[in-house]
Amino acid sequence: MATNRKIAKNFDDYADRFPKETQQLLRKMRLTVKNSAPRAKESISYGMPTFTEGRNRVYFAGYKSHIGFYPIPSGIEAFKKELSAYKQGRGSVQFPIDEPLPLALVSRIVKSRMKQDLSKYGK
């Protein structure tokens, strides 16, 4: 992540810590998540942009060579085949900075995460 370890107060404060190219990618991720989950509340949690509705749904973060996307393990499992081209960890996926972001896929994952949690909690 950015070299400045002070926790960001909001998304703009967070994004401004990165090079312009990474800022653009972070802003695209934010817009995609917001459009896919319009009722979700945006905050900074664990030092990264987070969207919640009742509980944390998805996180994303900027790094030197990738954008990390954290839809929790269920979001990764549900889209395992589509995400197979990307480096993954448990509950995370890395989108290389030098490749176009798969925003349509991100949108589907976010919508899926919203439905998973909404049905789980009966909202």
Q: What is the per-residue pLDDT for 122? A: 43
The pLDDT tens digits of the residues spanning 41-53 come to 999 998 999 999 8
- In DSSP notation, the chain reads --S--SPPSSHHHHHTTS-HHHHHHHHHHHHHHHHH-TTPEEEEETTEEEEESSSEEEEEEE-SSEEEEE-HHHHHHHTHHHHTTSEEETTEEEEETTS---HHHHHHHHHHHHHHHHHHHT-
Domains, in order of start, for the chain? 11-115 (3.90.1150.200)
- The parts of the chain modelled with pLDDT lower than 50 are 1-3, 121-123
Q: What is the per-residue pLDDT for 5? A: 59
Angle at alpha carbon of residue 18, lines to 113 and 31, rounded to 5°:
35
